[in-house]
Amino acid sequence: MPDSWPTAPAHFLTGTEPGAEGILALVDRAIELKAAPLSVRPLEGASIALIFEKPSTRTRVSFEVAVTELGGHAVVLRGDEMQLSRGESPRDTGLVLSRHVEAIAIRTHSDEVVSAIASASSVPVINMLTDGHHPCQALGDLVTLKETFGHLDGLKLAFVGDGNNVARSLALVAGLVGVQVTVASPSGYQLEPLPGLVITDDPAEAAMGADAIYADAWVSMGDEATAAQRLSALAPYCLDDALLDLGAPGAVALHCLPAHPGQEITPEVLYGSRQRIWDQAENRRHAQKALLEAIVRAV
């Protein structure tokens, strides 16, 4: 476990907990594990609870496979299978689960639920996604950027579209290790000010000279009621070849998926040669393996 990480349990809730040194160590370790995916089994005999209160493809597969490749057992719990759905408190859930497993990971709506579980838990808690944060995605994205460019410090990352949980995590986590993050969003969809973050309403301004340009879905889970309004407001923020051309030489397109070709990204970019999107999807697993290795039984 990186020396900069707080004392046990080493929760990973916003992604900033390890500090810059710890994040960089996790990125480098993820790249090592990608090169030799079955080389270590530090979770032998360990069970990891994976709670899914929201639908999932990449997060569930990448975490389940990560736990298996590290030698552990994933206890997958759907929200409708748990007493949480019938009124049991997050505090009680954390107290009970931490008597049985060696880490708890949860994908849910509210950051408060994750914080309450973490406060009660005697084992590490990992935020797999909330409305406010997506730190595991940001960690996997840093792995992709390091693979692509060989370094992180000084890179320029432009996020175009809704200032959502992914944009916030990129600003917090990538910004901590020297990546300059700019988020371009229309009025009403912008992130709150964060240290080092550049906010604009002009996607071309954000993309100018960027090493990577990042898109995400415009209508996420829970946004369906305002879908038409969102699609109209965000239409100028589509990641297409013209926007990518404004980036630095060798600029790449990123997307955390699922994608909606023809909305936030064109099919030509999504499936073309200038993207690292499918590497991103794979690198979630390797980044999460590095994270699990670092925090489970680390103290």
Query: From CA 59, how far away is CA 280, in angstroms rounded?
Result: 12
Residue tagged 């996790």 (tokens): 26
Q: Is 134 known to be catalytic? A: yes
Single out the catalytic residue among 141, 211, 216, 275.
216
DSSP state of 183: E
Cα–Cα distances in Å, from 203 out to 185, 194, 226, 240, 250? 7, 19, 22, 11, 18
216 classed as catalytic: yes
Which one is catalytic: 137, 180, 263, 275? 137
Q: Which amino acid is at 222?
A: G
Catalytic residue among 230, 284, 285, 286: 284
Q: Structure tokens of 265?
A: 């990204």
Question: How far is residue 181's CA from residue 203's CA, in Å, rounded to a whole number?
Answer: 13
70 Cβ partners below 8 Å, 6+ apart? 40, 41, 42, 43, 289, 292, 293
Tokens of 275: 């993207």
Given 133, 255, 256, 288, which residue is catalytic? 256
Query: Active-site residue 256, yes or no?
Result: yes
Look up 107 and say whether it is catalytic: yes
Cα–Cα distance, 279 to 229 (Å, whole number): 32
- Give the active site residue among 134, 168, 230, 276: 134
Q: Which amino acids are annotated catalytic?
A: 107, 134, 137, 216, 256, 284
